[in-house]
Each structure stands twice: as structure tokens, then as C-alpha cells.
Amino acid sequence: MKIKETNLAGVLIIEPTVFGDDRGFFYESFNEQKFEQLTGLRPRFVQDNHSKSSAHVLRGMHYQIKQAQGKLVRVISGEVFDVAVDLRKNSPTFGQWTGTYLSAQNKLQMWIPEGFAHGFVVTSDSAEFLYKTTDFWAPEYERCLMWNDPSVNIDWPLTGANGASFGPIMSAKDLVGKALADAEVFE
């Protein structure tokens, strides 16, 4: 397992060690001991989630203002562009974002600690997305940051395989996310 830091302190890209041959492959998607050795962190995961989305679906930018969730995310089918936005008010990178492609092919994972909004857009025909969380879903504390807030300026890959631009497919809830200036953030 290799760990790569991003431009946002705490957000990590994880590359597992994959053993493969003509029969297929094997890898540990999570090993608490190795994760702690490489990151100094020992998250307690309490919930696993699995979603499937069609091409061009954008989910996010989600966070819980209380019962904040750390998330370990990965894709087991297809590809997404995965994004985290720093919502820690006193952080030197407050309001900044990082993103990377996660896919079944590259097997990369992203660790997003508490204090960040999270979202992704599907860049393949469909994608299955798995994530572990450090706290339970609490709809009363769920918040949504506007996916296209110009002050955050996420560079979403909104171009299809044919080179044509597309508007993302979103839930009604995600379409009414708040601008960073109006959003509840972490102290």
C-alpha cells in the first residue's frame, strides 16, 4: 500500500498493493494495521455504503455538520472523478478542493477526513462506488455545498467520450446546495 498526500492536509490517495495474474487479482482494500502504520490514523468505521450511478450523475457536495463523517472511498465498477472540499474554517486551505479519478481499473482510494465536503461525477457508462464512514448517516445534520460554487471553482470533467460537454444529472437536494459563503462550516 502506498499513500500520497494531496494539496489538502488530511486528504490522502491510497494505492493498494495488487497481486494479479492471468486468473485475476487480489488486494486488501483495507487493513487497519497498515493504514495506521502509513498514516498515523486509526479510524473507527461504523457504516459501509454502496451506490450505483449512471453516466454523468454528480452526487455532492455532501457533509454532516454534526456527526461528521470521515470517508474511505473507492470504485469497484466504472470510473468517477472524486472531489473533497476543505470546510474547516481555520484551515489554511479552507474553501479549496482536490480531486482524482477513482476507477475499478486503477483501484485507487481516497481518504476524506471529517471537516470536508465530498462528491463525485461518473465519467464512465456507470459506476459502483463503495465507502466506509466513521459515523452514522444523520439526515438532520446533512448539508450540501453547491457543486459549482465559483468561489470554490471545482474543475469538473463534464465532457463525454465524444468530446461533447454535458450538464450533470443531479438530485433535487444536490441542486440546491449552498454557496461556501452561506454554508455551515466546521470550526
Kindly indicate whether the domain formed by 46-182 is annotated with CATH number 2.60.120.10: yes
Residue 148 backbone phi and psi in degrees, to 5? -120, 30
Catalytic residue among 27, 62, 63, 101: 62
Q: Residue 27: what pLDDT?
A: 87
Burial of 26 (0-12, 13-18, 19+ CB in 10 A): exposed
C-alpha cell at 165: 460537454
C-alpha cell at 20: 494479479
Burial of 142 (0-12, 13-18, 19+ CB in 10 A): middle
Calculate the alpha carbon distances from 40 to 2, 12, 35 in Å: 14, 12, 7
What parts of the chain have a pLDDT lower than 50? none
Please say whether the beta carbons of 78 and 54 come within 8 A.
no
pLDDT in tens, 61-73: 999 999 999 999 9
Q: Which one-letter amino acid corresponds to residue 146?
A: M
Q: Residue 159: what pLDDT?
A: 83
Any catalytic annotation for residue 63?
no
The domain limits of the chain are 46-182
Calculate the alpha carbon distances from 185 to 66, 69, 139 in Å: 10, 14, 16
pTM for the full predicted model: 0.94
Catalytic residue among 63, 101, 118, 131: 131
Any catalytic annotation for residue 141?
no
